[in-house]
């Protein structure tokens, strides 16, 4: 192999930078929803060119042949046509999630239970004899050089100690797995009729990216999925991201089901619990909203590390629910609320829900 790998790697880094810059656009497109971690996604990028002084496109040319027929629209341009291609970059959903998630975390996670989730981190605590100059460990290098100079009898006070290649020591990193506590995430999604296709797609996108990010960063996080309209039912991951239903809205039905699941399978003593609820906030009745708030205040919120509610703006619904929640939990740190005005708001909303320092 020639050394193209290095250049290729560097190029991929640059591409990742581009993707990061345009991440909002990819995130708000619904196409990726439902894919899994290792599946690759082809992302078209405009070719990354080196800008040069060159002519614009208003150039005539010379052609050969009939000049009529199939492709009269094809005109030649002099010079080199590069810079016009599209570049197709393949990234896995995992990689996208990683790019997305550098500033996110599961808030207030605590050591609980014996089933442990793990997270990895890299620390610079090793020492190696090879490495980049930028990581040279000055003290160690100096010590080696000093030892050698003394051992070889060349040491005179006042004369400088000159390290040779063998003396050099470099910092190097180690990957550590940190034990993390067991955690369960319950996704609840409103699929009622008051949500238009656009709204459904937005909440689905948001749930998908949260899920993709969690899957990537926390091994063994358990996930449960609930969809609800006037009644709630538990579904598997596939159904959750693909289903289209409609009906009335009784939010309490979802909370009741979530509570049931949690109480049955995930005792709060052993589990960090993170319910996420996505809706347009158009509940059927105020009395149901009262039931919801009661459920939250008495049961769901106390047992959870954080209860997250994201509400998408809808042209039909009243959007009242988030206001009711604001009224009910004005100071509560464990309840995080977020509004998603449109597709572009997804990224901000995720930051609000999972951002560090919440």
Partner 1 sequence: MAKISSRFLREGRQLPPELEDARLEIKQICEEYGLDFFETVFEMCTYEEINMIAAYGGFPTRYPHWRFGMEFLEMQKSYEYGLSKIYEMVINTDPSYAYLMDCNLVVDQKLVMAHVFGHVDFFKNNHWFKPTNRKMLDQMANHATRVRDIIDREGASTVEQFVDMCLSLDNLIDPYLPHIQRTRKATEEPEDDGSVGRLPSERHYMDRHINPPEFLAAQREKKASQAEKAARYPEEPVRDVLGFLLQHARLAKWQRQILQIIRDEAYYFAPQGQTKIMNEGWATYWHTKLMTKHILTDSEVIDYADHHSGTVAQRPGQLNPYKLGVELYRHIERRWDRGQFGKDWLDCTDPRERKAWDTGAMLGRDKLFEVRRTHNDITFLDTFLTPEFCREQGFFTTKFDKKADEWVVDSREFADVKKQLLQMLASRGTPRIYVYDANFANRGELLLTHEHEGLDIQLDWASVTLANLAALWGRPVHLETLLEGKPIRMSHDGSEVTREEVR
Q: Which residues bind partner 1 (CB under 8 A)?
A: 2-4, 6-14, 47-48, 50-80, 85, 87-88, 132-134
Nearest residue (CB) to partner 1, 133 versus 331: 133
Least separation in angstroms between CB 22 and partner 1? 17
Nearest residue (CB) to partner 1, 60 versus 327: 60
Nearest residue (CB) to partner 1, 10 versus 118: 10
The backbone torsions φ and ψ at residue 222, rounded to the nearest 5 degrees and listed phi first, read: -85, 140
Around 227, how many Cα atoms within 13 Å sit in the side-chain half-sphere?
A: 20
Token code pair at residue 201: 């797609």
Least separation in angstroms between CB 17 and partner 1? 11
d(CA 325, CA 101): 27
For strand 117-128 and strand 86-92, is the pairing parallel, antiparallel, or unpaired? unpaired
E strands, 99-251, are 117-128, 170-180, 183-190, 222-228, 232-235
Token code pair at residue 117: 């989730």
Nearest residue (CB) to partner 1, 47 versus 231: 47
Q: 23 with 95: CB under 8 angstroms?
A: no
Element (H, E) at 334: none
Nearest residue (CB) to partner 1, 65 versus 153: 65
d(CA 15, CA 8): 10
Least separation in angstroms between CB 191 and partner 1? 40
Least separation in angstroms between CB 2 and partner 1? 5
Nearest residue (CB) to partner 1, 170 versus 271: 170
Least separation in angstroms between CB 141 and partner 1? 16
Least separation in angstroms between CB 96 and partner 1? 18
Alpha-helical regions (H) of 179-250: 197-217, 237-242
d(CA 342, CA 202): 7
d(CA 29, CA 143): 56
Question: Under 8 Å CB-to-CB from 151, ≥6 apart: which residues?
Answer: none
Least separation in angstroms between CB 52 and partner 1? 5
Nearest residue (CB) to partner 1, 132 versus 327: 132
């Amino acid at each position: 192999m020639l050394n193209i790998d290095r250049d290729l790697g560097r190029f991929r880094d640059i591409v990742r930078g581009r993707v990061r810059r345009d991440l909002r656009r990819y995130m708000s497109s619904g196409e990726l929803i439902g894919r899994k971690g290792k599946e690759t996604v082809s992302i078209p990028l405009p070719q990354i060119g080196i800008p040069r002084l060159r002519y614009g496109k208003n150039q005539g040319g010379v052609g050969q042949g009939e000049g009529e027929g199939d492709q009269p629209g094809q005109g030649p341009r002099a010079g080199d046509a590069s810079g016009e291609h599209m570049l197709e970059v393949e990234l896995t959903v995992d990689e996208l999630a990683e790019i997305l998630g550098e500033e996110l975390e599961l808030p207030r996670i605590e050591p609980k239970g014996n089933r442990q989730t793990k997270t990895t981190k890299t620390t610079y605590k090793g020492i190696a004899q090879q490495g980049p100059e930028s990581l040279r460990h000055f003290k160690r290098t100096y010590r080696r050089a000093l030892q050698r100079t003394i051992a070889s009898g060349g040491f005179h006070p006042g004369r400088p100690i000159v390290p040779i290649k063998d003396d050099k020591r470099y910092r190097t990193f180690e990957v550590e797995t940190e034990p993390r506590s067991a955690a369960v995430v319950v996704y609840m999604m409103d699929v009622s009729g008051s949500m238009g296709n656009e709204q459904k797609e937005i909440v689905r996108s948001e749930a998908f990216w949260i899920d993709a990010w969690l899957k990537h960063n926390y091994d063994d996080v358990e996930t449960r999925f609930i969809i609800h309209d006037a009644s709630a039912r538990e579904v598997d991951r596939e159904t959750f991201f693909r289903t289209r239903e409609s009906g009335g809205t009784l939010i309490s039905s979802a909370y009741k089901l979530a509570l049931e699941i949690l109480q049955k399978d995930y005792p709060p003593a052993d589990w960090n619990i993170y319910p996420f609820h996505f809706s347009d906030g158009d509940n059927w009745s105020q009395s149901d909203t009262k039931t919801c708030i009661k459920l939250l205040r008495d049961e769901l919120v106390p047992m959870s590390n954080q209860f997250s509610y994201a509400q998408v703006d809808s042209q039909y619904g009243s959007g009242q629910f988030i206001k009711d929640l604001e009224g009910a939990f004005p100071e509560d740190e464990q309840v995080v609320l977020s509004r998603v005005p449109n597709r572009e708001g997804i990224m901000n909303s995720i930051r609000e829900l999972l951002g560090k320092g919440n």
